[in-house]
């Protein structure tokens, strides 16, 4: 009987303790802000995994292309203003790309050149990616995640074009690379990597929203609408870690005009994403984030004999960013 009563007491105490912790966590309010200190150096691993499934092309089998791009980047804080806005130099230290197509796999690894595939495509990609490594861009970030300015994109683009023996007058090279490394494109990527934080303190269950302009000449003007929800706050006061859920919808506000001799057009379908974010409240930095996105589209073009044709393309991406603790 004593054992039974002791067990019952233990269980009741445990349940009460769990309830107390849950109530405390639920009521805990935190202020989420990026916090920077001059001469801070942060290193992140960023991975983008993409699959593209093309179906419905007349006379051809359905195909899948898969690519994984991994980068290690360093953020060096050059200075912090009175408002908390920081001037940060971002440098890519290494890039690895693995592209799988129906005809084979192409690998480019700037840190391990011996692993780079021995073919002309890999050779050109290797030169162009190597031009990215070590070339800094300068960012001014507000404490709420607002990207106030981006500099260095034009010089970075020039280096890439020079490395690939391309010129700004080369339409294919210029269009593809400008969509990735122009100042506007870099701003958009930064806004995705360092999402907007709420203007006021929040508690679990609170939400906030932001919008990010995306797109290029190929896919048109895309608007990403994001909603964030603070799920939990863990840890003692002064060592809290916030866990945030994210939901995203993508809307094609402006379709691109027909391009090239084949008059290619692209119409984006019902595109959505979801993800999560772990944020170190005390240190004011992202520990880990992940966003998973599905983007179906319909592509129209003129076929080889001048007849119109359409096919489907389903692109799925998983983007992760992880702080490399030292």
Residue 263 lies in a domain: yes
To the nearest 10 degrees (0 to 180), the angle between helices 171-181 and 183-193 is: 40
Confirm whether 302 is domain-assigned.
Answer: yes
pLDDT of residue 24 exceeding 90: no
Give the CATH number, domain containing residue 195: 2.30.230
Domain that holds residue 203: 29-323
Q: Where are the alpha helices (DSSP H) in the chain?
A: 2-27, 120-132, 153-163, 171-181, 183-193
Contact between 228 and 248 (Cβ < 8 Å): no
State the pLDDT at residue 186: 84
Q: Is residue 1 part of a domain?
A: no
pLDDT value of residue 179:
65
Distance CA 155, CA 138 (A): 11
d(CA 38, CA 87): 9
Counting the structural domains of the chain, the total is 1
Instruction: Kindly give the residue spans of alpha helices, DSSP state H, lying in 134-262.
Output: 153-163, 171-181, 183-193
For the entire predicted model, the pTM comes to 0.84
Cα end-to-end distance, the chain, whole Å: 53
CB 280 within 8 Å of CB 18: no
Distance between alpha carbon 142 and the CA centroid of its chain, in Å? 19
Q: What pLDDT digit, counting tens, does each position of 96-121 carry? A: 999 999 999 999 999 999 998 988 87
Mean pLDDT is lowest, of 24-28, 61-65, 89-93, for: 24-28
Any domain includes 12: no
Note whether residue 188 is domain-resident: yes
Q: Let me know: does 51 contact 66? Beta carbons within 8 Å.
A: yes
Q: Which of these ranges, 98-112, 176-190, 197-211, has the smallest mean pLDDT? A: 176-190
Q: What is the DSSP letter of 167?
A: -
Mean pLDDT taken over the chain: 85
| Within-domain flag for 256 | yes
Query: Is residue 213 domain-resident?
Result: yes
Confirm whether 9 is domain-assigned. Answer: no
**C-beta pairs of 196-199 under 8 Å, 24+ apart in sequence:** 196/144, 196/145, 196/146, 196/226, 197/32, 197/33, 197/34, 197/143, 197/144, 197/145, 198/32, 198/144, 198/228, 199/144
Q: Show the beta-strand stretches assigned E in the chain.
A: 41-55, 63-80, 86-101, 104-109, 137-141, 147-151, 207-216, 220-234, 241-254, 265-268, 271-280, 285-302, 308-323
Q: Which pLDDT band, with edges at 50, 70 and 90, does 177 fall under?
A: low
User: pLDDT at residue 263 above 90?
Assistant: no
């Amino acid at each position: 009987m004593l054992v039974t009563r002791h067990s019952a007491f233990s269980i009741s105490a445990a349940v009460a303790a769990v309830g107390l912790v849950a109530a405390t966590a639920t009521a805990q309010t935190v202020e989420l802000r990026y916090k920077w200190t001059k001469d801070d150096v942060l290193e992140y691993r960023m991975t983008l995994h993409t699959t593209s499934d093309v179906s419905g092309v007349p006379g051809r089998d359905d195909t899948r292309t898969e690519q994984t791009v991994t980068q290690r980047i360093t953020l060096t804080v050059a200075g912090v203003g009175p408002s908390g806005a920081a001037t940060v130099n971002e440098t890519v230290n290494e890039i690895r790309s693995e592209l799988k197509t129906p005809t084979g796999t192409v690998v480019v690894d700037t840190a391990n050149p011996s692993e780079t595939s021995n073919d002309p495509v890999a050779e050109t990609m290797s030169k162009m990616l190597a031009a990215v490594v070590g070339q800094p861009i300068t960012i001014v970030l507000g404490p709420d995640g607002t990207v106030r300015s981006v500099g260095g994109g034009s010089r970075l683009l020039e280096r890439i074009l020079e490395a690939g023996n391309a010129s700004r007058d080369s339409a294919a090279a210029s269009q593809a690379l400008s969509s990735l490394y122009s100042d506007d494109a870099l701003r958009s990527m930064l806004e995705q990597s360092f999402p907007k934080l709420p203007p006021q303190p929040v508690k679990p269950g609170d939400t906030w929203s932001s919008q990010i302009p995306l797109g290029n000449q190929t896919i048109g003007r895309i608007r990403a609408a994001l909603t964030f929800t603070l799920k939990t706050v863990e840890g003692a006061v002064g060592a809290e870690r916030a866990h945030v859920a994210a939901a995203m919808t993508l809307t094609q506000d402006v379709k691109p005009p027909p391009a090239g001799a084949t008059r290619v057009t692209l119409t984006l379908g019902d595109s959505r994403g979801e993800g999560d974010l772990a944020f170190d409240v005390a240190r004011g930095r992202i520990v880990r984030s992940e966003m998973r996105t599905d983007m179906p589209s319909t592509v129209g073009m003129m076929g080889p004999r001048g007849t119109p044709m359409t096919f489907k393309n389903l692109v799925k991406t998983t983007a992760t960013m992880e702080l490399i603790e030292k």
